[in-house]
Amino acid sequence: MQLPEVELNIYNKNNPVEAKIVENRIVSKESSPNYVRHITFDVSGTDLVGRVCVGQSIGVMPPGEDEKGRPHKMRLYSVSSPSGGENGNPALISTTVKRTIEEYEGKIYLGVASNYLADLKPGDSVMLAGPSGKRFLLPEKKESYNYLFFATGTGIAPFRGMMLDLIRSGCSGSVALLFGCSYRTDLLYPDLFGEMEKDHPNVHYLTAVSREDRRADGSKKYVQTLLEDQRDLLQPILEQDNTLIYICGLKGMETGIYRELLRMGLPGYLEWKKDAPEPESLESTLKTLTDSELKKQIRTTERVFEEVY
Ligand code: A2P
């Protein structure tokens, strides 16, 4: 499988470029305690036009200095617009940003870049760098594959663009999005994915609302548990050797997904670095190994793409 050649660091943190905000809309529900926004930059007149690919990130330079008087560091945000640009306009690049608000020892901390971006209004300027990333991409012949996209929270960003790209390219393979969030109010772009599923029989939109939905045994639903709960749909897709898996979001879901894939006994996605356990001892091995031990023993193949944080 061939990944496309993409542009890298047309601009960098020492040489950023000015872009204008054209849209900044909230995409989480009004009743959600979280604030997630879809933010679109106009990069007209810069060398970024038409040269940022979905799966890549752009760098945002928040103005000002930290408490030690040093300029704020650049932060990377995943692009959520399709490769041809938002609404087919190659000068428009979008991202999906959640305000970071944390409490530590009784004090509230606001994430510098996410809150800066969330406060910007159409017409405001922002300094950008990038693009960066050359591995978390759709393959060259993207329409020739099936896809399972696993996302939690704003990990959805690249998959919004990728799914728009795949639909535009006429991909007829199966495309399943497995999205996890805490509450139903935190489903991101549900209308877009619902429409895609309605209009395209090859698209499947599956959600795991961890603090509301329960599995048959009463346990929490997570993106990885969908593999078991939706096995009739997903196993036949995963058994095809032109299926690719993409994982984006919380670090913890990685090993959760590995465990389910190993249980399903599907070849082609994961390899044991040393000897694989016998099938009859697989379950006890999985129970014994901690997440970090499992990660050390497993290697993903070129059919698995990950961006976790
Ligand atoms: P929970 O926090 O209920 O355990 P968000 O970014 O909107 O907070 O969503 C993150 C989602 O990922 C939540 O549903 C969260 O569930 C879930 N999550 C947390 N840990 C894991 C994990 N190890 N594997 C998969 N999903 C996870």
pLDDT at 32: 86
| Pair (111, 207) in one structural domain | no
Together in a domain, 156 and 285:
yes
**Do residue 155 and residue 273 come from a single domain?**
yes
Ligand 1 mean position, distance from CA 225 (Å) = 12
- In angstroms, the CA 157 to CA 249 distance is 9
Chain segment 5-14, per-residue pLDDT in tens: 999 999 999 9
174 lines ligand 1 (CB under 6 A): no
At 307 the three-state DSSP class reads strand
Instruction: Using the mean position of ligand 1's atoms as its centre, give its distance from the Cα of residue 175 in Å.
Output: 22
What do you get for the CA distance between the two ends of the chain, in Å? 26
CB of 156 shorter than 6 A to ligand 1: no
- 299 and 150 fall within a common domain: yes
Query: For residue range 185-242, what is the model confidence (pLDDT) as tens digits?
Result: 999 999 999 999 999 999 999 999 999 999 999 999 999 999 999 999 999 999 999 9
Q: Say yes or no: 127 and 152 in one domain.
A: no
- Pull the structure tokens for residue 53: 């690919």
Q: Is the CB of 180 under 6 A from ligand 1?
A: yes
In a domain, 175, yes or no: yes
**Mutate which of 100, 221, 222 to test ligand 1's pocket (most atoms within 8 Å of Cβ)?**
222
- CB-CB contact of 171 with 200 (8 Å): no
Tell whether ligand 1 has an atom less than 6 A from the beta carbon of residue 250.
yes
Question: Which domain CATH number covers 65?
Answer: 2.40.30.10
Decide if 75 contacts 132 (C-beta within 8 A).
Answer: no
The two tokens of residue 136 are 């978390």
Same domain for 35 and 158, yes or no, is no
Residue 144 Cα, ligand 1 centroid: separation in angstroms?
Answer: 31
**Eight-state DSSP code of residue 72:** P
pLDDT single digits (tens) 134-180: 999 999 999 999 999 999 999 999 999 999 999 999 999 999 999 99
Quick one: which H or E segment has residue 236?
helix 231-238
Q: Which three-class secondary structure state does DSSP give residue 202? A: coil
Q: Shortest CA distance to 129 belongs to which of 19, 248, 6? A: 19
* 224, part of any domain: yes
Residues 296 and 151 in one domain: yes
How remote is the CA of residue 154 from the centroid of ligand 1, in Å? 11
Do the beta carbons of residue 207 and residue 235 sit within 8 Å? no
CB atoms within 10 A of CB 106: 5
Do the beta carbons of residue 187 and residue 153 sit within 8 Å? no
**Alpha-carbon span 289 to 283, nearest angstrom:** 10
Domain endpoint, select from 132, 155, 172:
132
Q: Report how many domains make up the chain.
A: 2
| Domain-located, residue 256 | yes
Length of the chain counted residue by residue: 309
CB 95 less than 6 A from any atom of ligand 1: no
Alpha-helical runs (H) found in 109-208 = 112-119, 157-168, 190-199
- Please indicate, yes or no, whether residues 146 and 127 belong to a single structural domain of this protein: no
Are residues 291 and 217 located together in one domain of the fold? yes
Which 8-state DSSP code applies to residue 190?
H
Which atom of ligand 1 is the closest one to the Cα of 34?
7
Asked if residue 157 and residue 77 are part of one domain, the reply reads no
At 29, is the pLDDT very low, low, confident or very high (cuts 50, 70, 90)?
A: confident
- Whole-number Å distance between alpha carbons of 145 and 39: 30
Determine whether the shortest distance from the Cβ of 82 to ligand 1 is under 6 A.
no
Atom index in ligand 1 nearest the CA of residue 224 equals 25
CB 102 within 8 A of CB 109: yes
Distance 179 CA to ligand 1 centre (A): 10
Dump pLDDT digits (tens) for 94-113: 999 999 999 999 999 999 99
User: Structure pTM?
Assistant: 0.96
Predicted confidence band of residue 263 (pLDDT cuts 50, 70, 90): very high
CA-nearest residue, atom 9 of ligand 1: 181
For residue 98, the cross-strand partners are 36
155 Cβ closer than 6 Å to some ligand 1 atom: no
- Judge contact between 114 and 72, C-beta under 8 A: no
Domain that holds residue 219: 142-308
The token pair that represents 153 in the structure block: 């929270």
296 CB within 6 A, ligand 1 = no
CATH of the domain at 147: 3.40.50.80
Query: Residue 230: inside a domain, yes or no?
Result: yes
